[in-house]
């Protein structure tokens, strides 16, 4: 494993800190991963595949 791999590899503890979708457990890492509520705001609980515009897909 080289220096770059060591810097980018996440530990198990760090992995559990990433939020995950409450429905499908998809990691929510990038802004586009998050779903949106009925007001178009980012949902903290659901991914873009499970919630859009406040509607569960």
Assess if residue 37 is contained within a domain.
yes
Structure tokens, 57: 């897909």
pLDDT of residue 37: 96
Q: Residue 33 belongs to what domain range?
A: 18-56
* Domain-embedded: residue 1: no
Residue 26 lies in a domain: yes
Q: Is residue 7 part of a domain?
A: no
For the chain, what is the domain count? Answer: 1
pLDDT in tens, 5-52: 545 455 544 455 789 999 999 999 999 999 999 999 999 999 999 999
Taking residue 5's Cβ as centre, other Cβ atoms within 10 Å add up to: 8
Contacts of 29 (CB under 8 A, 6+ apart): 18
């Amino acid at each position: 494993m080289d220096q770059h791999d060591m810097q980018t590899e996440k530990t198990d503890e760090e992995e559990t800190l990433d939020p995950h979708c409450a429905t499908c457990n998809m990691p929510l890492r990038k802004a586009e991963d998050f779903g949106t509520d009925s007001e178009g705001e980012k949902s903290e609980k659901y991914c873009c595949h499970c919630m859009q515009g406040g509607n569960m897909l």
